[in-house]
Amino acid sequence: MTNNKKVLFLFIIIIILFVLVFFFPSIGSKLRIDFYSSKNFIYKPFKALSEEMTNYLKILNINNQNIEIISSLKNENTNLKEINNMLINSLSKFNELNYIL
């Protein structure tokens, strides 16, 4: 056996023992308490990483929503500018008519 095969074999044995302890612990065993504390210790970095990723995805989602709102507000602003120009034109025509009469 090469070193890689030995390491793989040892890894498989450790996984099997870990699974056996997880599924078949004795009721009053200190091993069960140690196992759950080690499980929490192992899961802490992954939990923190998943929380960071969810926060990052929420921020990206909020950013995309804000970009859509900004684009709709730009369209509304251009429409309001056009309406304003039309009103200025109609007012100037009204003033010219009023001046003539």
Helix (H, G, I), strand (E, B) or coil at 24: coil
**pLDDT higher than 70, residue 35:** no
pLDDT at residue 90, rounded to an integer: 84
pTM of the prediction? Answer: 0.47
Percent of the chain with pLDDT over 90: 38
Band of residue 42 on the pLDDT scale cut at 50, 70, 90 = confident
Is residue 26 within 8 A of residue 32, CB to CB? The reply is yes
CA–CA distance from 8 to each of 1, 14, 18, 19, 50 (Å)? 11, 10, 15, 16, 28
Written as six digits, the tokens of 83 are: 């309406």
